[in-house]
Amino acid sequence: MRLEKDKGLLWILLLLGFLFFFSCSVVKTTYKVTKYTIKTTYKVTNGVGKAIYKIGKFTFVVVMAPLSWPLTHGEIESIDDLSPKDAIRQDRVKRSPYVVKGKRYVPMSLKKASSYRQKGIASWYGYETFRQKGGHMTANGEAFDPKGLNAAHKYLPLPTYVKVTNLENNRMIIVRVNDRGPFVKGRIIDLSAGAAKRLGFYKKGTTKVLVETIQIES
């Protein structure tokens, strides 16, 4: 009788151990999607001025650029009434007004950005960076990576994560908005070449998309 009780206890312990191991594995390998929220799997920081974020299957490498690098959009005249480099140096770019070719743009509030959802035309930018030596800087001071999952938006706070769905083929990705643009009439978002390839419109140049902000939960 005692042997049977011991066997029963052993099976219970094994079952509890299996459930604990399985629950730990789920936390590390999955992410939860709600209407506006995506739960990060983990965040790793490597070295000075560099961070690596993973959200499900999407990886974001964030590197701060040297101030000597040119901006991806040299037509930005000022940010928060300062020169772009001074504004970046003083960390005054997240929601600061900026001027492009004499036109003043005012980014949306954090509250409005949290529920942002818009359909429109997406394009991709940064082709010139493939042919130029050295690197380029985004409007919030990050190194522009044409192969990464980055984007430019005229009004969202920097940085913001958004889900972009190509409405022509239903492909979806998550990108980090870290730059300003596009400054071409009729377009709502500019994506990096890497993001355009993932969405399947790199060769075409533009496509119709749905852009939705997401909130990151650590």
139: CB partners within 8 A, 6+ apart: 71, 72, 73, 76, 79, 84, 88, 93, 98, 152, 158, 178, 179, 180
CB neighbours (10 Å) of residue 191? 28
User: How many domains, in total, are found in the chain?
Assistant: 1
Domain extent, residue 171, equals 37-66+108-217
Using one digit for the tens of pLDDT, what is the confidence trace for 23-80?
333 223 233 333 334 444 434 444 446 888 888 889 999 999 999 999 999 999 999 9
* Tokens 């409005």, residue located: 112
C-alpha 98/C-alpha 84 separation (Å) is 9
- Tens of pLDDT, residues 91-112: 999 999 999 999 999 999 999 9
In CATH, what number is assigned to the domain containing residue 136?
A: 2.40.40.10
Does the pTM surpass 0.75? The reply is yes
Q: Is residue 185 part of a domain?
A: yes
DSSP string computed for 160-179: EEEEEEETTT--EEEEEEEE
